[in-house]
């Protein structure tokens, strides 16, 4: 009962709404390397290893993560 009181006070909570919106947009946490993405590649970064997928964007199947040196080869500078 007590926890509902501040909800029922009538005024919306802007901070709470903003958090919800951000949460929705970042439901799927993926990291993309911009310089590789600009080369038309998938550019997904495998965060645990720091490797990058250099397959074409929207490639079928799973990502093929390569090391930083190979990623540099396809990256746009
Ligand atoms: Zn990929």
Query: Per-residue pLDDT tens for 10-32?
Result: 666 665 555 554 444 444 567 99
54 is in which domain, residue-wise? 29-77
pLDDT for residue 30: 72
pTM assigned to the model: 0.61
Question: Where does the pLDDT of residue 77 fall: very low under 50, low under 70, confident under 90, or very high at 90 and above?
Answer: confident
pLDDT for residue 26: 45
Total number of domains in the chain: 1
pLDDT in tens, 51-67: 999 999 999 999 999 99
42: in domain = yes
17: in domain = no
Gap from CA of 27 to ligand 1 centroid (Å)? 18
Gap from CA of 39 to ligand 1 centroid (Å)? 13
Gap from CA of 22 to ligand 1 centroid (Å)? 24
Gap from CA of 59 to ligand 1 centroid (Å)? 6
CA pair distance 21, 30, nearest whole angstrom: 17
The 3-state secondary structure of 16-69, one letter per residue? HHHHHHHHHHCCCCCEECHHHHCCCECCEEECCCCEEECCECCCCCCCCEECHH
69: in domain = yes
64 exposure class (CB count in 10 Å sphere: 0-12, 13-18, 19+) = middle
């Amino acid at each position: 009962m007590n926890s509902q009181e501040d909800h029922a006070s009538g005024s919306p909570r802007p901070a709470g709404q903003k958090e919800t919106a951000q949460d929705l947009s970042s439901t799927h946490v993926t990291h993309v390397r911009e310089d590789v993405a600009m080369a038309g590649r998938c550019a997904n970064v495998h965060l645990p290893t720091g490797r990058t997928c250099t397959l074409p964007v929207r490639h079928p199947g799973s990502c093929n993560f390569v090391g930083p040196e190979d990623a540099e080869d396809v990256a746009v500078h």
